[in-house]
């Protein structure tokens, strides 16, 4: 008797491997670190044009991966980066491609969210000298003026076939 096993392999679309997108190790998202200072709205529009949205860091695994990735890559360490959080009616939401969702898991820096700024930025590692003791704030979230220009992080879901 001959037994044949059929194994179905789900293959991730190569969209992560192209055009500067990197895959989160265990997640189902790709990220692109865009070095082009833009306002929060401009950054969100550019992410949408690339098939994603500003990054939404929904759990510890994603947050720690992002911190580690930025720590490892020297060119991504020092600058502030826009991510997809924004304030509406005194609530912090993630801006999604289709629908916005309430932020239920956060990584705010000390004294944040602040009273000013309605958009979310991710700190760098302090190497540009913007903080006296940055260690407790490295790669944490803060509020920012939405019209300020920062680099930004886009995220898109991996398409499975």
Per-residue pLDDT of the chain (161 residues; tens, 9 = 90+): 444 433 333 344 445 767 889 988 777 889 999 999 999 999 999 999 999 999 999 888 888 888 888 888 888 887 889 999 999 999 999 998 888 999 988 888 878 888 889 999 998 776 555 455 455 667 888 899 999 999 999 999 886 54
- Taking the alpha carbons at both ends of the chain, their separation in whole angstroms is 33
Number of residues that this document lists for the chain: 161
pLDDT at 12: 41
* Phi and psi angles of residue 37, each rounded to the nearest 5 degrees, phi first: -50, 125
Cβ neighbors of 68 (< 8 A, separation 6 or more) are none
- Residue 116, number of CB atoms within 10 A of its CB: 8
Q: What is the CATH number of the domain that holds 27?
A: 3.10.100.10
Domains: count for the chain:
1
- Examine residue 16 and state whether it is found in any structural domain, yes or no: no
- Examine residue 60 and state whether it is found in any structural domain, yes or no: yes
pLDDT at 76: 86
Would you give the DSSP letter of residue 158?
Answer: P
Domain of residue 117 covers 22-157
- Examine residue 14 and state whether it is found in any structural domain, yes or no: no
150-157 and 81-88 as β-strands: parallel, antiparallel, unpaired? Answer: parallel
- Examine residue 104 and state whether it is found in any structural domain, yes or no: yes
pLDDT at 54: 97
Q: How far apart are CA 62 and CA 68, in angstroms?
A: 10
Q: Are 23 and 159 in contact (CB under 8 A)?
A: no
pLDDT at 129: 52
Q: How far apart are CA 54 and CA 43, in angstroms?
A: 7
pLDDT at 33: 94
């Amino acid at each position: 008797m001959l037994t044949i096993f059929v194994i179905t392999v789900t293959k991730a679309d190569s969209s992560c491997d192209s055009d500067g997108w990197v895959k989160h190790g265990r997640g189902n998202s790709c990220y692109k670190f865009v070095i082009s200072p833009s306002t929060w709205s401009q950054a969100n529009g550019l992410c949408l044009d690339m098939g994603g949205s500003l990054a939404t860091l929904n759990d510890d695994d994603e947050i720690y991966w992002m911190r580690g990735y930025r720590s490892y890559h020297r060119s991504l360490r020092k600058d502030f980066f826009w991510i997809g959080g924004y304030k509406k009616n005194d609530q912090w939401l993630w801006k999604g491609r289709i629908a916005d969702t309430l932020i239920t898991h956060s990584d705010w820096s000390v004294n944040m969210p602040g009273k000013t700024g309605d958009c979310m930025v991710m700190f760098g590692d302090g190497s540009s000298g913007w903080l006296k003791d940055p260690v407790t704030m490295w790669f944490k979230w803060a509020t920012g003026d939405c019209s300020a220009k920062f680099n930004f992080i886009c995220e898109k879901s991996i398409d499975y076939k």
